[in-house]
């Protein structure tokens, strides 16, 4: 029972399980599956617990973003193009 409670607390706090806005049963089921998949994937990638896995994945995402911007700058891609690709324009 304790492990289930830990899962729900982490899923609510870290994966925003309590923040979904869907109405249909099918949509709720799909969202629930995505949350579970993200939870398991983060543990699998780090070969550790959920928190370590989530930290690792967030760091990877950050590194990826920095590398993307660096490569774009080296290729003289205009900043407006980079912003559009990152959906921040």
pLDDT at 36: 86
Phi, psi of 20 (to 5 degrees): -75, 155
pLDDT at 71: 95
For 69, counting Cβ atoms within 10 Å of its Cβ (0-12 exposed, 13-18 middle, 19+ buried), the class is middle
pLDDT at 67: 95
pLDDT at 83: 93
Residue numbers in the chain where pLDDT is lower than 70: 1
Q: Kindly list the distances between the CA atom of residue 65 and the CA atoms of 54, 68, 82, in Å, as whole numbers in the listed order.
A: 17, 5, 11
For 29, counting Cβ atoms within 10 Å of its Cβ (0-12 exposed, 13-18 middle, 19+ buried), the class is exposed
pLDDT at 15: 79
pLDDT at 88: 87
pTM of the model: 0.63
pLDDT at 82: 93
């Amino acid at each position: 029972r304790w492990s289930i409670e830990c899962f729900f607390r982490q899923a609510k706090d870290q994966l925003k399980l309590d923040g979904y806005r869907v109405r249909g049963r099918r949509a709720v089921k799909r969202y629930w599956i995505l949350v579970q998949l993200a939870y398991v994937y983060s543990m699998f990638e780090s070969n550790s617990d959920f928190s370590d896995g989530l930290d690792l994945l967030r760091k990877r995402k950050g590194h990826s973003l920095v590398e993307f911007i660096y490569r774009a700058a080296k290729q003289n891609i205009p900043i407006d193009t980079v912003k559009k690709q990152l959906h921040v324009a």
